[in-house]
Amino acid sequence: MKKYNFSAGPSILPRVTMEKTAEAIMDFNGIGLSIMEISHRSKDFQVVIDEAVALFKELLDIPEGYSILFLGGGASLQFCMVPYNLLEKKAAYLNTGTWANKALKEAKLFGEAVEVASSKEANYSYIPKDYVVPADADYFHITTNNTIFGTELHTDIDSPVPLVADMSSDIFSRPLDVSKYALIYGGAQKNLAPAGVTFVIVKEDVLGKVSRPIPSMLDYRIHIKNGSMFNTPPVVPIFAALQTLRWLKELGGVKAIEKINIDKAARLYDEIDRNRLFKGPAAEEDRSFMNVCFVMEDEYKELEPEFLDFAVKRGMSGIKGHRSVGGFRASIYNAMPVEGVQALIDCMQDFEKQK
Ligand SMILES: *Cc1c(COP(=O)(O)O)cnc(C)c1O
Protein backbone atom coordinates (compact mmCIF):
# COMPACT_ATOMS: atom_id res chain seq x y z
CA MET A 1 0.00 0.00 0.00
CA LYS A 2 1.19 3.50 -0.83
CA LYS A 3 1.87 5.53 2.29
CA TYR A 4 1.62 9.28 2.56
CA ASN A 5 3.53 11.01 5.32
CA PHE A 6 1.49 13.85 6.81
CA SER A 7 3.67 14.18 9.94
CA ALA A 8 4.27 17.67 11.31
CA GLY A 9 7.99 17.17 11.83
CA PRO A 10 10.31 15.50 11.18
CA SER A 11 8.33 15.21 8.03
CA ILE A 12 8.12 14.29 4.39
CA LEU A 13 11.14 15.10 2.22
CA PRO A 14 11.57 14.82 -1.53
CA ARG A 15 12.43 11.26 -2.57
CA VAL A 16 15.56 12.53 -4.30
CA THR A 17 16.83 14.02 -1.02
CA MET A 18 16.72 10.56 0.54
CA GLU A 19 18.25 8.84 -2.48
CA LYS A 20 21.15 11.26 -2.90
CA THR A 21 21.86 11.26 0.82
CA ALA A 22 21.79 7.47 0.96
CA GLU A 23 24.26 7.38 -1.95
CA ALA A 24 26.59 9.87 -0.26
CA ILE A 25 26.44 7.92 2.98
CA MET A 26 27.79 4.90 1.10
CA ASP A 27 30.22 6.73 -1.19
CA PHE A 28 30.47 10.52 -1.26
CA ASN A 29 31.36 11.99 -4.67
CA GLY A 30 32.98 8.71 -5.67
CA ILE A 31 35.88 9.31 -3.25
CA GLY A 32 35.41 5.92 -1.62
CA LEU A 33 34.46 7.40 1.76
CA SER A 34 31.13 8.13 3.42
CA ILE A 35 29.96 11.71 3.94
CA MET A 36 29.57 10.59 7.56
CA GLU A 37 33.28 9.99 7.99
CA ILE A 38 34.98 12.85 6.16
CA SER A 39 36.25 16.08 7.65
CA HIS A 40 33.85 18.99 7.60
CA ARG A 41 36.89 21.02 6.57
CA SER A 42 37.59 18.89 3.51
CA LYS A 43 37.32 20.55 0.11
CA ASP A 44 34.49 18.22 -0.89
CA PHE A 45 32.32 19.30 2.02
CA GLN A 46 33.21 22.98 1.64
CA VAL A 47 31.69 22.76 -1.84
CA VAL A 48 28.46 21.37 -0.30
CA ILE A 49 28.03 24.11 2.28
CA ASP A 50 28.97 26.83 -0.24
CA GLU A 51 26.34 25.63 -2.68
CA ALA A 52 23.74 25.39 0.10
CA VAL A 53 24.43 29.00 1.08
CA ALA A 54 24.33 30.08 -2.57
CA LEU A 55 20.98 28.36 -3.10
CA PHE A 56 19.52 29.99 0.02
CA LYS A 57 20.51 33.36 -1.44
CA GLU A 58 19.25 32.55 -4.89
CA LEU A 59 15.95 30.89 -3.99
CA LEU A 60 14.96 33.43 -1.34
CA ASP A 61 16.47 36.39 -3.19
CA ILE A 62 18.45 37.39 -0.10
CA PRO A 63 19.93 40.88 -0.42
CA GLU A 64 23.51 41.92 0.33
CA GLY A 65 24.35 42.36 3.99
CA TYR A 66 22.84 39.07 5.21
CA SER A 67 24.68 35.95 6.35
CA ILE A 68 23.36 32.40 6.20
CA LEU A 69 24.32 30.03 8.99
CA PHE A 70 23.89 26.30 9.49
CA LEU A 71 23.98 25.53 13.20
CA GLY A 72 22.96 22.85 15.68
CA GLY A 73 20.51 23.12 18.55
CA GLY A 74 17.23 23.37 16.65
CA ALA A 75 14.86 26.31 16.49
CA SER A 76 14.56 25.98 20.26
CA LEU A 77 18.14 27.13 20.76
CA GLN A 78 17.34 30.17 18.63
CA PHE A 79 14.64 31.06 21.17
CA CYS A 80 17.56 31.89 23.47
CA MET A 81 20.22 32.88 20.92
CA VAL A 82 18.04 35.64 19.48
CA PRO A 83 17.64 37.54 22.77
CA TYR A 84 21.22 36.76 23.77
CA ASN A 85 22.44 38.61 20.68
CA LEU A 86 19.73 41.23 20.15
CA LEU A 87 17.93 42.06 23.38
CA GLU A 88 19.50 44.96 25.25
CA LYS A 89 16.48 46.29 27.17
CA LYS A 90 13.18 45.29 25.65
CA ALA A 91 11.77 42.96 23.00
CA ALA A 92 8.26 42.52 21.60
CA TYR A 93 6.63 39.15 20.87
CA LEU A 94 3.46 38.16 19.08
CA ASN A 95 1.93 35.21 20.87
CA THR A 96 0.41 32.95 18.23
CA GLY A 97 0.90 29.55 19.81
CA THR A 98 3.06 27.02 21.57
CA TRP A 99 6.31 27.85 19.80
CA ALA A 100 5.81 31.61 20.08
CA ASN A 101 5.26 31.09 23.82
CA LYS A 102 8.45 29.13 24.18
CA ALA A 103 10.37 31.87 22.38
CA LEU A 104 8.84 34.51 24.65
CA LYS A 105 9.70 32.55 27.77
CA GLU A 106 13.39 32.49 26.86
CA ALA A 107 13.47 36.21 26.04
CA LYS A 108 12.27 36.98 29.57
CA LEU A 109 15.59 35.67 30.86
CA PHE A 110 17.40 38.55 29.12
CA GLY A 111 15.26 41.62 29.68
CA GLU A 112 11.76 42.94 29.31
CA ALA A 113 9.76 40.82 26.86
CA VAL A 114 6.42 42.37 25.96
CA GLU A 115 3.61 40.27 24.56
CA VAL A 116 2.04 42.73 22.10
CA ALA A 117 -0.96 40.51 21.40
CA SER A 118 -2.13 36.96 21.89
CA SER A 119 -4.85 34.72 20.50
CA LYS A 120 -4.61 32.37 23.45
CA GLU A 121 -8.22 33.10 24.50
CA ALA A 122 -9.37 31.48 21.23
CA ASN A 123 -6.95 28.55 21.47
CA TYR A 124 -4.70 30.31 18.93
CA SER A 125 -7.19 29.86 16.12
CA TYR A 126 -6.26 33.19 14.51
CA ILE A 127 -3.35 35.60 14.19
CA PRO A 128 -3.89 38.90 16.01
CA LYS A 129 -3.82 41.89 13.65
CA ASP A 130 -4.46 44.91 15.89
CA TYR A 131 -1.47 45.56 18.06
CA VAL A 132 1.18 48.17 18.58
CA VAL A 133 4.83 47.27 18.62
CA PRO A 134 6.66 49.51 21.12
CA ALA A 135 8.96 51.82 19.18
CA ASP A 136 11.70 51.34 21.75
CA ALA A 137 11.81 47.53 21.43
CA ASP A 138 15.11 46.09 20.22
CA TYR A 139 13.20 43.71 17.94
CA PHE A 140 9.78 42.22 17.24
CA HIS A 141 9.47 38.44 17.13
CA ILE A 142 6.85 36.56 15.13
CA THR A 143 6.17 32.93 14.24
CA THR A 144 5.12 32.94 10.58
CA ASN A 145 3.55 29.48 10.61
CA ASN A 146 2.05 27.99 13.73
CA THR A 147 2.71 24.32 13.14
CA ILE A 148 0.50 23.11 15.99
CA PHE A 149 -2.55 25.35 15.52
CA GLY A 150 -2.52 25.53 11.73
CA THR A 151 -2.40 29.30 11.30
CA GLU A 152 -0.02 31.20 9.06
CA LEU A 153 0.94 34.76 8.23
CA HIS A 154 0.78 34.83 4.46
CA THR A 155 2.53 38.16 3.96
CA ASP A 156 5.72 39.84 5.10
CA ILE A 157 4.55 42.35 7.66
CA ASP A 158 5.97 45.80 8.34
CA SER A 159 7.58 46.37 11.67
CA PRO A 160 8.80 49.65 13.19
CA VAL A 161 11.71 47.77 14.82
CA PRO A 162 13.92 44.94 13.52
CA LEU A 163 11.73 41.96 12.67
CA VAL A 164 12.72 38.45 13.77
CA ALA A 165 10.82 35.43 12.47
CA ASP A 166 10.66 31.77 13.37
CA MET A 167 10.01 30.19 9.95
CA SER A 168 10.66 26.60 10.94
CA SER A 169 7.59 25.24 9.21
CA ASP A 170 7.06 27.52 6.20
CA ILE A 171 10.52 28.48 4.97
CA PHE A 172 10.80 27.97 1.20
CA SER A 173 7.03 27.57 0.86
CA ARG A 174 6.58 30.98 -0.78
CA PRO A 175 8.65 33.97 -1.95
CA LEU A 176 9.82 36.25 0.86
CA ASP A 177 10.83 39.87 1.06
CA VAL A 178 13.88 39.14 3.19
CA SER A 179 14.75 42.85 3.38
CA LYS A 180 11.84 43.26 5.83
CA TYR A 181 13.50 40.92 8.34
CA ALA A 182 16.51 41.36 10.56
CA LEU A 183 16.71 37.66 11.31
CA ILE A 184 14.94 34.50 10.14
CA TYR A 185 15.56 31.11 11.68
CA GLY A 186 14.17 27.61 11.76
CA GLY A 187 14.81 23.97 12.39
CA ALA A 188 15.29 22.20 9.06
CA GLN A 189 13.15 19.16 9.82
CA LYS A 190 9.85 20.56 8.51
CA ASN A 191 10.53 21.63 4.96
CA LEU A 192 14.20 21.12 4.23
CA ALA A 193 16.18 18.28 5.74
CA PRO A 194 16.27 15.69 8.50
CA ALA A 195 16.56 17.01 12.07
CA GLY A 196 19.96 18.24 13.16
CA VAL A 197 20.53 21.47 11.29
CA THR A 198 19.10 24.91 12.01
CA PHE A 199 19.28 27.71 9.48
CA VAL A 200 19.73 31.35 10.42
CA ILE A 201 19.51 34.24 7.95
CA VAL A 202 20.79 37.31 9.74
CA LYS A 203 21.37 40.90 8.74
CA GLU A 204 24.87 41.60 9.89
CA ASP A 205 24.29 45.20 10.98
CA VAL A 206 21.82 44.23 13.73
CA LEU A 207 24.58 42.37 15.58
CA GLY A 208 27.10 43.69 18.08
CA LYS A 209 24.70 46.07 19.81
CA VAL A 210 24.16 44.36 23.16
CA SER A 211 26.42 45.02 26.10
CA ARG A 212 26.41 41.53 27.65
CA PRO A 213 29.24 39.11 26.94
CA ILE A 214 28.11 36.27 24.66
CA PRO A 215 29.54 32.76 24.89
CA SER A 216 31.28 31.89 21.61
CA MET A 217 28.89 29.10 20.61
CA LEU A 218 25.92 31.44 21.04
CA ASP A 219 27.44 34.43 19.25
CA TYR A 220 26.20 34.81 15.66
CA ARG A 221 29.28 36.91 14.80
CA ILE A 222 31.60 34.02 15.66
CA HIS A 223 29.62 31.64 13.46
CA ILE A 224 29.57 34.16 10.60
CA LYS A 225 33.32 34.70 10.88
CA ASN A 226 33.86 30.94 10.75
CA GLY A 227 31.44 30.17 7.92
CA SER A 228 29.29 27.93 10.19
CA MET A 229 32.44 25.96 11.06
CA PHE A 230 33.38 27.35 14.45
CA ASN A 231 32.75 23.80 15.56
CA THR A 232 31.71 20.73 13.56
CA PRO A 233 28.45 21.51 11.77
CA PRO A 234 25.77 18.83 11.16
CA VAL A 235 27.37 17.56 7.96
CA VAL A 236 24.80 14.99 6.81
CA PRO A 237 21.69 17.16 7.39
CA ILE A 238 23.42 20.03 5.52
CA PHE A 239 24.12 17.67 2.63
CA ALA A 240 20.46 16.60 2.66
CA ALA A 241 19.31 20.24 2.78
CA LEU A 242 21.36 20.92 -0.33
CA GLN A 243 19.57 18.10 -2.16
CA THR A 244 16.17 19.56 -1.21
CA LEU A 245 17.26 23.02 -2.36
CA ARG A 246 18.44 21.62 -5.72
CA TRP A 247 15.10 19.83 -6.06
CA LEU A 248 13.25 23.06 -5.34
CA LYS A 249 15.32 25.01 -7.87
CA GLU A 250 14.68 22.36 -10.51
CA LEU A 251 10.97 22.63 -9.81
CA GLY A 252 11.00 26.37 -10.50
CA GLY A 253 11.83 27.81 -7.06
CA VAL A 254 9.61 29.32 -4.40
CA LYS A 255 7.20 30.99 -6.84
CA ALA A 256 6.43 27.64 -8.45
CA ILE A 257 6.12 25.80 -5.14
CA GLU A 258 3.87 28.54 -3.75
CA LYS A 259 1.39 27.94 -6.56
CA ILE A 260 1.41 24.21 -5.85
CA ASN A 261 1.08 24.81 -2.10
CA ILE A 262 -1.89 27.14 -2.54
CA ASP A 263 -3.58 24.58 -4.78
CA LYS A 264 -2.98 21.67 -2.39
CA ALA A 265 -4.23 23.64 0.62
CA ALA A 266 -7.30 24.93 -1.26
CA ARG A 267 -8.31 21.39 -2.23
CA LEU A 268 -8.08 20.14 1.33
CA TYR A 269 -9.80 23.14 2.94
CA ASP A 270 -12.56 22.94 0.32
CA GLU A 271 -13.20 19.36 1.34
CA ILE A 272 -13.15 20.22 5.05
CA ASP A 273 -15.74 22.96 4.40
CA ARG A 274 -17.86 20.74 2.15
CA ASN A 275 -17.82 17.53 4.15
CA ARG A 276 -20.61 17.45 6.74
CA LEU A 277 -18.47 15.51 9.21
CA PHE A 278 -15.53 17.91 9.46
CA LYS A 279 -14.70 21.53 10.24
CA GLY A 280 -11.53 23.59 10.43
CA PRO A 281 -10.82 25.43 13.70
CA ALA A 282 -8.49 28.08 12.20
CA ALA A 283 -9.84 31.46 11.04
CA GLU A 284 -10.26 31.37 7.28
CA GLU A 285 -7.84 34.15 6.34
CA ASP A 286 -5.15 32.72 8.61
CA ARG A 287 -5.38 29.10 7.52
CA SER A 288 -1.96 27.54 7.14
CA PHE A 289 -0.94 26.22 3.73
CA MET A 290 1.48 23.85 5.48
CA ASN A 291 -0.38 22.36 8.46
CA VAL A 292 -4.07 21.79 7.84
CA CYS A 293 -5.92 21.22 11.13
CA PHE A 294 -9.43 19.80 11.14
CA VAL A 295 -11.76 18.29 13.70
CA MET A 296 -15.09 16.56 13.56
CA GLU A 297 -18.30 18.55 13.83
CA ASP A 298 -19.60 18.42 17.39
CA GLU A 299 -22.38 15.91 16.62
CA TYR A 300 -19.84 13.49 15.11
CA LYS A 301 -17.07 14.03 17.67
CA GLU A 302 -17.17 10.41 18.85
CA LEU A 303 -16.25 9.27 15.33
CA GLU A 304 -12.73 10.72 15.55
CA PRO A 305 -10.94 7.52 16.56
CA GLU A 306 -12.85 5.62 13.88
CA PHE A 307 -11.86 8.03 11.13
CA LEU A 308 -8.25 7.99 12.30
CA ASP A 309 -8.23 4.22 12.08
CA PHE A 310 -9.94 4.29 8.66
CA ALA A 311 -7.40 6.78 7.30
CA VAL A 312 -4.36 5.00 8.75
CA LYS A 313 -5.52 1.75 7.15
CA ARG A 314 -5.56 3.54 3.80
CA GLY A 315 -1.97 4.72 4.16
CA MET A 316 -2.45 8.17 5.70
CA SER A 317 0.40 8.43 8.17
CA GLY A 318 0.79 11.08 10.87
CA ILE A 319 -2.62 12.78 10.65
CA LYS A 320 -3.49 12.60 14.35
CA GLY A 321 -3.87 16.18 15.59
CA HIS A 322 -1.66 17.68 18.25
CA ARG A 323 -3.16 17.19 21.71
CA SER A 324 -3.71 20.94 22.11
CA VAL A 325 -6.14 21.04 19.16
CA GLY A 326 -7.30 17.44 18.92
CA GLY A 327 -8.81 15.98 15.77
CA PHE A 328 -6.49 15.81 12.80
CA ARG A 329 -3.59 17.66 11.27
CA ALA A 330 -2.40 17.02 7.75
CA SER A 331 1.02 18.56 7.18
CA ILE A 332 1.35 19.16 3.47
CA TYR A 333 4.84 20.57 3.21
CA ASN A 334 6.59 21.24 -0.11
CA ALA A 335 7.41 17.59 -0.68
CA MET A 336 3.81 16.34 -0.30
CA PRO A 337 2.54 15.56 -3.79
CA VAL A 338 -0.96 16.62 -4.79
CA GLU A 339 -1.77 12.88 -5.09
CA GLY A 340 -1.27 12.59 -1.32
CA VAL A 341 -3.72 15.41 -0.68
CA GLN A 342 -6.19 13.80 -3.09
CA ALA A 343 -5.81 10.43 -1.34
CA LEU A 344 -6.72 12.07 1.97
CA ILE A 345 -9.69 13.84 0.39
CA ASP A 346 -10.90 10.51 -1.06
CA CYS A 347 -10.61 9.03 2.41
CA MET A 348 -12.73 11.80 3.92
CA GLN A 349 -15.37 11.40 1.22
CA ASP A 350 -15.55 7.62 1.50
CA PHE A 351 -15.84 7.87 5.25
CA GLU A 352 -18.65 10.39 4.92
CA LYS A 353 -20.56 8.05 2.58
CA GLN A 354 -20.47 5.32 5.24
CA LYS A 355 -22.01 7.57 7.89
C1 LIG B 1 9.07 22.43 15.17
C2 LIG B 1 9.09 23.87 15.49
C3 LIG B 1 9.99 24.41 16.43
C4 LIG B 1 10.94 23.55 17.24
O5 LIG B 1 12.00 23.17 16.46
P6 LIG B 1 13.22 22.35 17.09
O7 LIG B 1 14.17 22.33 15.93
O8 LIG B 1 12.70 21.00 17.47
O9 LIG B 1 13.75 23.10 18.25
C10 LIG B 1 9.97 25.78 16.63
N11 LIG B 1 9.14 26.58 15.97
C12 LIG B 1 8.26 26.10 15.06
C13 LIG B 1 7.35 27.03 14.33
C14 LIG B 1 8.22 24.73 14.80
O15 LIG B 1 7.35 24.24 13.90
The CATH architecture annotation of domain 253-354 reads Alpha-Beta Complex (3.90)
Using the mean position of ligand 1's atoms as its centre, give its distance from the Cα of residue 166 in Å.
Answer: 8
**Whose alpha carbon is nearest atom 8 of ligand 1?**
74
Looking at residue 46, its pLDDT comes to 98
Domains 15-251 and 253-354 share a fold: no
List pocket residues of ligand 1, CB cut-off 6 Å: 9, 74-76, 99, 143, 147, 166, 168-169, 187, 190
Helices (H), the chain: 15-26, 43-60, 74-86, 98-107, 220-225, 235-251, 253-274, 304-313, 338-354
3-state SS string for 288-310:
CCCEEEEEECHHHHHHHHHHHHH
**What's the CA-to-centroid distance between 186 and ligand 1, angstroms?**
7
CATH domain 15-251 topology: Aspartate Aminotransferase; domain 2 (3.40.640)
Residue ranges of the domains in the chain? 15-251, 253-354
1: Cβ–Cβ under 8 A, 6 or more apart, which residues? 314, 315
d(CA 282, CA 293): 7
For residue 164, report the distance from its CA to the centre of ligand 1, in Å.
15
Ligand 1 centre to CA of 301 (Å) is: 29
Confidence (pLDDT) at 1: 85
One DSSP character per residue, 69-124 reads EEESSHHHHHHHHHHHHH-SSEEEEEE-SHHHHHHHHHHTTTSEEEEEEE-GGGTT
Q: Which of 7, 71, 99, 189 to mutate to test the pocket of ligand 1 (most atoms within 8 A of CB)?
A: 99
Atom of ligand 1 nearest to the CA of 198: 7
Q: Please list the pLDDT of the chain residue by residue as tens digits (355 residues).
A: 899 999 999 999 999 999 999 999 999 999 999 999 999 999 999 999 999 999 999 999 999 999 999 999 999 999 999 999 999 999 999 999 999 999 999 999 999 999 999 999 999 999 999 999 999 999 999 999 999 999 999 999 999 999 999 999 999 999 999 999 999 999 999 999 999 999 999 999 999 999 999 999 999 999 999 999 999 999 999 999 999 999 999 999 999 999 999 999 999 999 999 999 999 999 999 999 999 999 999 999 999 999 999 999 999 999 999 999 999 999 999 999 999 999 999 999 999 999 9
Per DSSP, 321 falls in state P
For residue 62, what is the DSSP state?
Answer: P
- What are the tens digits of pLDDT across the range 119-160? 999 999 999 999 999 999 999 999 999 999 999 999 999 999
Atom 5 in ligand 1: residue holding the nearest Cα? 75
Distance CA(272)–CA(280), nearest Å, equals: 7
